[in-house]
Amino acid sequence: MLEALTLNLALKLVAFIIVWVIVSIPMYIASKLMDIDGLAQAMLASLTAPLCSLIVYNILSFVFPINVIVAIILWFITVKIVYDCGWGDAIILTILTILITLLIILILEFLGLTIFRVLGIPIPFRF
């Protein structure tokens, strides 16, 4: 029983690390396009920015518009701190990361390699 639990936890940890590296790729590409530091900062930002924003978003969930605004501002602050850059660079880096992520998703969709198809989930829309 304990071995199965340990193996399950180890597999979840490995899956988390793999997903973390994959999610960091768009931010790494965006940072390289902007001539900012590389992979370590992208991985740190892709881990801390969503985590901090999610915590604040949930804590302030009773005031809807404010929690979204504060979460977005906290995301920019986290990127600004991790990359040691100005506000403009942090905002541009975040927007560029989103655009690169959407581009990767579109390319994978056109190639037929979406996670929805892999998991067998019906897709409600088609491009």
Question: What is the rounded distance in angstroms from the CA atom of residue 76 to the CA atom of residue 58?
Answer: 18
Query: Would you place residue 50 in the very low, low, confident or very high pLDDT band (cuts 50, 70, 90)?
Result: confident
**Which residue range(s) make up the domain with 78?**
2-112
Sole residue written with tokens 């996670």: 115
Asked if residue 121 belongs to a domain, the reply is no
Please provide the distance, in angstroms rounded to a whole number, between the alpha carbons at the two ends of the chain: 46
Query: Would you place residue 120 in the very low, low, confident or very high pLDDT band (cuts 50, 70, 90)?
Result: low
Say if residue 117's pLDDT is above 70: no
Asked if residue 101 belongs to a domain, the reply is yes
Higher pLDDT, 110 or 42: 42
Q: How many domains does the chain fold into?
A: 1
Higher pLDDT, 31 or 9: 31
Asked if residue 118 belongs to a domain, the reply is no
CB 34 within 8 A of CB 92: yes
Asked if residue 124 belongs to a domain, the reply is no
Q: Could you give the 3-state DSSP secondary structure of residue 124?
A: coil
